[in-house]
Amino acid sequence: MTVARLFGTDGIRGIAGREPITPETGLRLGRALARFLDRRNLNKEVVVGQDTRASGDMLAHAVASGVASGGGNALMAGVIPTPGVAFLARDRKAGAGVVISASHNPHEYNGFKLFSGQGFKLSEPEESEMEDLILSPESEMSAELPGSILNLPDTQDRYVAFLKQQVSPLNLHGMSVVLDCANGAAHKAAPTLFASLGARTEVLFADPDGRNINAGCGSQHTEALARKVVKGRAELGLAFDGDADRLTAVDEKGNTLTGDQVLVICARMLKEKQALSGNLVVSTVMSNVGLKSALGEAGIAWEATGVGDRLVVEAMRARGASLGGEESGHIVFLDHHTTGDGLLSALMVVKALKHFGRPLSVLADFMRVFPQVLLNVPVREKPEISKVRGISEAVEAAEKALGDRGRVLVRYSGTEPLCRIMVEGENAEEIKGHAADIAHAVKEAIGNP
């Protein structure tokens, strides 16, 4: 296996059938995970779940075979949201959980996400250890006594019951909600959840065929959802990504809220309920500059981390915070769950509607969103940005022009060969120009020909 580094910002990800997203990697990963658990004298049961991609069965069974070959027991959860696997691993007191998913990416992508038995994503040192184990020749060696591959029963029902318990009592009778399930892992759980709470639900994109996951739908494509909300005069729309750990909300007027706006709404609700631990919200450096201002106006502290929900959770645990998340829609309610959960976030949004007694469009105004431009430039390599001539000068020029009226963030994707360029400021045309200048510099210096 000729892979320099397996783990990115959210597990191992790439195009299915190409290294490292192959059955061979899945087999080695399963064996490595059994050894990882054995080293720690942990339960060698591993919960394995997946989203709806056509390659999911192939990779899930490869991981399960690796776990059993390494002497562990693989517990197959089937198609279920990523946070559902985190819950099942903790509820079952398993040693770990593995999710076969590429989140919001197109169907041809897939990946491996790993959780500890406590339901948290592995730390960076733990990922490094797992990587060494996967790449070690010993990952090709089976245990003397193989384990078993078993099907976990009632996984959807148990997960839905867990979610309802987190927001009990919550009665949605009379509320009209449109759900966009992204043809992904939430296509059964989300409609079941909201219907069981009494909501009038209209369900979109809940007919997966293995290739239509995230295709013009889901948390990154809310146009159809917005039209349906307005046409049906629903109170809100809720869109999930392929593995349902993200949420994007649409208000009754068809406007799409950012993850930062959802954070502010939930933070203010929790603060009024005296349930915002540490009076603190944690998010990443990708959050809009309006987030800090909105939280400050509400008397709530804010802390920023690097990109990735794992880093958010680590900072939350260190600071005793109960709420954090990413602008992309990963929201973490640490008093209720160990990881970002799109369905739980959706329930918290409707709780906020009930709490404030105002439409979502009014709650969205809790935060002013500064204009932002995001550009992705394909790259052939990922050198340190500050040391690349042309790029560093373009970034410096933009920062100087914006001053304290905006900001620039240029970083590489942790899961794809992309350079991500973000520019924020008060004037939309000005920031478009700065972003274009930086993108041009990236293309000239390290662009993928």
Catalytic machinery residues: 103
Cross-strand pairs, 24: none
Tokens found for residue 209: 């065929």
Query: Where are the alpha helices (H) located in 136-184, listed in sequence order?
Result: 155-167
Indicate left, alpha or beta for 188 from its phi (over 0: left) and psi (-120 to 50: alpha).
Answer: alpha
Q: Could you tell me how far CA 306 lies from the centroid of its own chain? A: 14
What residue has token string 């406590």?
A: 118
**Region for 282 from its dihedrals, namely left if φ exceeds 0, alpha if ψ lies in -120 to 50, beta otherwise:** beta
Task: Say which residues have a Cβ less than 8 Å from residue 328's Cβ, sequence separation at least 6.
Answer: 104, 219, 246, 259, 286
Runs of H (alpha helix) within 9-113: 23-39, 56-69, 82-92
Q: Which residues contact 227 (CB under 8 A, 6 or more apart)?
A: 254
The sheet that has 372-378: what strands, in order across it? Answer: 372-378, 418-425, 406-412
Sign of the dihedral through C-alpha 408, 411, 414, 415:
positive
Q: How far apart are CA 209 and CA 279, in angstroms?
A: 44
Question: Which residue in the block uniquely carries the two structure tokens 């799409």?
Answer: 256
What H or E segment, with its residue span, contains residue 45? strand 45-50
Question: Across 106-152, where does the E strand assignment appear?
Answer: 109-116, 149-151
Residue 419 CB: number of other CB atoms within 10 A?
25
Structure tokens at 214: 């995230």
